[in-house]
A and B are shown apart, each in its own frame.
Chain A
């Protein structure tokens, strides 16, 4: 199988949400001595970008996006360990989570997928994450981006607590903080001192590309 055929196989697997095809394509890429980063960017990520565009155009919906995301991760599980350590270190690191008191993580997972597809090294802290853990992770892992999500109104204040904690620790100036979730707004982002709020994952990644 030629290099282009392997890349197409990876891309098509992500678009169609075919996990086994993505795994096979990833193995074939490594067997063909293809650089893992090439297989990721020109195969898996290309496919995810197509899905992202289709989602934005309302041509596919959340079930398809989630299937594609899981397919991409299945391929990444095989390809990421093959990337030279120096290349991994060059990727911009991002911590992402659903804030304390909330477990609704579907939006966070979509944003994480798009960030990963955008070349960011995502530390997924999960859901219902204690404020202190976010602050500590930002510092110890030297992240450049903190992405916070919540679905519920009562937990919005946890976003402010995190930003206040980052200011207190002296790390705020070294990191961009973006927030998302239905109850949030650009005005709320401004009020709590976040750098950005977006309504969708792709626009958020596009903003980060210019901001970081």
Chain B
């Protein structure tokens, strides 16, 4: 099946709930695209996430190879913590992560300072986003990717410590959140100058397995609301990614009002919302929802298996959208990032795109 709309036309139609030729698609392929560099030999994660040109080129090559509807510049979730001063473990082929938290006492929260965002990996992220956004301008909808203030703090302090300090030292946690929010605000303004069309926020802790409405309402919502508005004020569409099992949909979709909401599905966890349930409950009425293919399928599944899953998801979503009198308000995507693992099968990513082109066609 040949597409009758361009990527940009299709996504714009989806965002405005106008008729589109098919459902948009974007398996969240970010770090895995580095396998396409160096003549197909790939580059290490370390090299990729320290060089803005390599970072950007991976998305450009990914677009050529897979023909996505979006390009979203996720690096990893330790960029901000690392630039705040936490030690990041940088294995050659593994996603970088914080292995030595920076905060070891309540007093340490008050020592945090906003780093120079043009240095460190924040600078790589911004410069890389600028390069691929300019290269892909007009071809696909591009977006930067940024960690929310509570996520950035949890990476810096260690999640367990931060959660307990919410109880025992809430004022110290709030002081630190003021700093991570100020850091985020500087990043938003800088992303606004890169030319990306949108900015995707990772507000990971809006998850009923971790925080209730009261805790999330105290420790992230107020900060996020300001940053969401700042995103829009800087000319970018607001996108939110939350790959948790029990996301706070009423807060993150109904209250935050993102243009795009990316989410996962955990069939074994009672209450985890499926694609059709999300649509039927009205969350796609004013938002393009994206999801929910199991990321593990990209590593361990076969082309046949992931094609069947994608086909089933397309039909589930189209039926639910039709019942709700919606057009292309669902993007066929992975529930979380396609694992940037050396064993991830590129043919499985391609299969998702190809099957969506065929089975996601809308009448």
Is this pair of chains taken from one and the same complex?
yes
Measuring CB to CB, which residues of chain A are less than 8 angstroms from any residue of chain B? 17, 58, 60-64, 66-67, 70, 101-106, 109, 128, 152-155, 182-183, 185-186, 188, 191, 199
Known A66-B163, A154-B339, A191-B300; 20 more pairs at CB < 8 Å: A17-B167, A58-B208, A61-B211, A62-B163, A62-B209, A62-B210, A63-B166, A66-B160, A67-B168, A70-B164, A101-B91, A104-B97, A104-B159, A105-B160, A106-B160, A153-B299, A153-B341, A154-B342, A185-B268, A199-B269
Question: Which B residues fall within an 8 A CB radius of A?
Answer: 89, 91, 93-95, 97-99, 159-160, 163-164, 166-168, 208-212, 215, 245, 266, 268-269, 295-296, 299-300, 339-342
> Is A154 within 8 A of B160, CB to CB?
no
Is the pair B341, A63 in contact by a Cβ cutoff of 8 Å?
no
A/B interface sample: 22 pairs, CB < 8 A:
A58-B208, A61-B211, A63-B163, A63-B211, A66-B160, A67-B167, A101-B94, A102-B97, A103-B97, A105-B160, A106-B159, A109-B160, A128-B99, A152-B97, A153-B296, A153-B299, A154-B94, A154-B95, A155-B94, A183-B296, A188-B296, A199-B268
CB distance from A114 to the nearest CB of B (A): 15
Within 8 Å CB of A101, what residues of B?
91, 94
A105: chain B residues at CB < 8 Å are 160
Q: Interface centre among A101, A103, A153, by most B CB within 10 Å?
A: A153
* Docked pose: A209 CA to B97 CA in angstroms: 35
Provide the residues of chain B in CB contact with A104, threshold 8 Å: 97, 159
Shortest Cβ-Cβ A-B pairs, 8 listed? A153-B339, A63-B163, A62-B210, A61-B212, A154-B94, A154-B341, A103-B99, A63-B166
Q: Provide the residues of chain B in CB contact with A183, threshold 8 Å.
A: 295-296, 339
* Min CB–CB distance A199 → chain B (angstroms): 5
Residues of B within 8 A of A64 (CB): 167
Q: In the complex, are the beta carbons of A186 and B268 less than 8 A apart?
A: yes
CB neighbours (8 Å) of B340 from chain A are: 154
A103 B98 Cβ-Cβ under 8 A: yes
- Name which residue of chain A comes closest to B270, CB basis: A199
Kindly provide the distance from the CB of B111 to the nearest chain A CB, expressed in whole angstroms.
Answer: 22
The verdict on A199 contacting B266 (CB below 8 Å), with A63-B166, A152-B95, A183-B296 known, is: yes
Chain B residues within an 8 Å CB radius of A17: 167
| Chain B residues in 8 Å Cβ range of A63 | 163-164, 166-167, 211, 215
* A152 closest partner in B (C-beta): B95
Q: Which residues of B contact A106 (CB under 8 A)?
A: 159-160, 163
Q: Across the interface, which residues of A come within 8 angstroms of B210, CB to CB?
A: 61-62
B77 to chain A, nearest CB (A): 11
Residues of B within 8 A of A128 (CB): 99
